[in-house]
Structure 1
Amino acid sequence: MKISRSRCLILSFVLVCGLFPEVPADVEEASDGLSTDREPRWLTDIPATKEFIAAAEVAVIGFFQDLEIPIVSVFRSLVQQFQDVSFGISNHSEVLAHYNVTSSSICLFRLVDNEQLHLDAEEIENLDAAKLSRFIHTNNLHWVTEYSPMIAAGLFNTMVQTHLLLMINKASPEFEETMRRYQTTAKLFQGQILFVLVDTSKRENGKVVAYFKLKESQLPALAIYDSVDDKWDTLPITEVTVEKVQGFCEGFLSGALLRDHRAEEDPGKEEL
């Protein structure tokens, strides 16, 4: 069987491999055993809703005309599962009309790429906790998103084509300061580059490091790639600073660092 060996497609496989693992038992149940400390924010008018969305890296809002439908309790139960996501709920007609909701809908708003994802009334009619949890997990992209197989689908389901990966051991003493600088730089490239963290202490992440032809001795390192044009480059980096990361990103976006790695492929591997 002859197929294309585009490295971009290979990378998508590498990243998304294991995309749908078993959902943890605590997600399967909608509410049993969950703490009720957190609740969705009630959004009673348009200004409050806009402010709520603008203040969160990721916001999930349930727009419900009828608060008695089953999905409402499922939605509220998941608040405990996502401590880094802001949950809101509204049944006010003016708010629903402003967001073009004519029945009921669950919407996810991402600040990092100004994306809005919607589950409409037909999609949520038979939605359970596991499926809704998977939807949020998959699309939960922040200024810096830690890589996992489930998150990988969200990375490839965005209009932002350029992704930057920081490959570093989270247990390293410099990690906290490194992340602060990395996140600061991420805000400079909103809508241009998605910033990702790859924890190299996890054995399963070794395939991501290997894809970019990096050795353990070269870590920590940055890897940047265009998910459409199959261009990428790497930078081993002993100290992550805003200036270094910004320069690396700007060089890639300007084309100064672009390399077409398809030309490096072994012609003998074009057929499987």
Structure 2
Amino acid sequence: MQTTVFYSLLIASVFATEKDAGLPRLIDAKAAEAFVDSAELVVIGFLEGEDHSGYQELVAAAKRVDSVSVAICTVKEVWADYGLTSDTISLFRKADNHREDLVLAKVKKLEADGLVNFITTNELRYITEYNQVTAVGLFNSEVKSHLLLFVNGGTKEYAELKARLGALAPEFTGKFLFVLINGGVKSNSRSLGYFGLKSQDLPRVGVYDGDADMKWLLPKGELSTERVRDFCKSFLQGDLKEVKQAGAEAKTEL
């Protein structure tokens, strides 16, 4: 909480805003760094100005994706810090230390719908709920190891486990993507089946190694922070490599 307040104060001190401006403006490198650090996911429009192509479209997109912080920067010296030379809309996400650039000169037709799609398909958080849209970002990420929380939405465990694993996820930034799979959603039944699970078996935690296409389940029991942390470390240390994979047999698990 104190960190959040600190960043809020820092950003407030280095943003330049106008009463009628649609988006906050980042006036120097310090402001840009503070903005990028202020949330799990942010978007910066590195644009020539508010009267140039891309600005109004970005404003409209920001209103439709209001869970994501969006700002603009017109200062070319700051652009250079990020290796940019032309109008670009950049998405910064902490879950895998990734930056995704949309160079406007390469966009055939710039529309708010396209920018909304750009943001939502690349939206990953410390714990990301799996669906058809977020799947794109998850599988395009350079981080191929996923810690999966299988839990039925609407249950008493859902919010508690989501918060617990979301708090653990920053410890494994760049090593794991933490993914929540709602077992109560029919379209997720294939994901459960891949691990040999059914909705009545939940909640459970598993690891998926995208590079090797291998998967493991944490044994049944309390899904404590310590157990999940140790499970992640076991994978990173290579201790799961010889363990029979989840879903290989009806009751296969670690």
**Equivalent pair of 1:144/1:183 in contact (CA under 8 Å):** yes
Query: How far off is 1:208 after superposition?
Result: 1.0
Q: What's 2:6 paired with?
A: none
Q: Which amino acid aligns with 2:194?
A: Y
Pick one of 61, 64, 76 that aligns with 1:78: 61
In structure 2, the CA distance between the partners of 1:241 and 1:83, relative to structure 1 (3 Å rule), is farther
Moved more, 158-167 or 209-218: 209-218
Pick one of 30, 36, 58 that aligns with 1:53: 36
Q: What's 2:16 paired with?
A: none
Q: Which amino acid aligns with 1:257?
A: L
**Equivalent pair of 2:146/2:177 in contact (CA under 8 Å):** yes
Pick one of 113, 116, 128 that aligns with 1:130: 113
Q: Does 1:192 pair with 2:175?
A: yes
Q: What's 2:150 paired with?
A: 167
Pick one of 227, 251, 259 that aligns with 2:234: 251
Distance 2:159 2:50 in 1: 42
RMSD in angstroms over aligned alpha carbons? 2.2
**Equivalent pair of 1:43/1:88 in contact (CA under 8 Å):** yes
Query: How far off is 1:64 after superposition?
Result: 0.5
Q: Which amino acid aligns with 2:235?
A: F
Q: What's 1:183 paired with?
A: 166
Q: What's 1:242 paired with?
A: 225
Matches within 5 A, 1:32-71: 39-71=22-54
**Equivalent pair of 1:63/1:89 in contact (CA under 8 Å):** yes
Distance 2:23 2:130 in 1: 26
What TM-score, normalized to structure 1? 0.77
Distance 1:61 1:130 in 2: 17
Unaligned residue ranges in structure 1 (runs of 5+): 1-36, 266-272
Runs of 4+ in 1 over 4 A off after TM superposition: 259-262
Asked which structure has the greater RCO (Cα within 8 Å, sep 6+), the reply is 1
Unaligned residue ranges in structure 2 (runs of 5+): 1-19, 250-254
Distance 1:54 1:232 in 2: 33
**Equivalent pair of 2:43/2:89 in contact (CA under 8 Å):** yes
Q: What's 1:146 paired with?
A: 129
User: The residue matched to 1:117 in structure 2 has which SS?
Assistant: strand
> C-alpha deviations, 1:9-48, integer Å up to 9, x for none?
xxxxxxxxxxxxxxxxxxxxxxxxxxxx994321111101
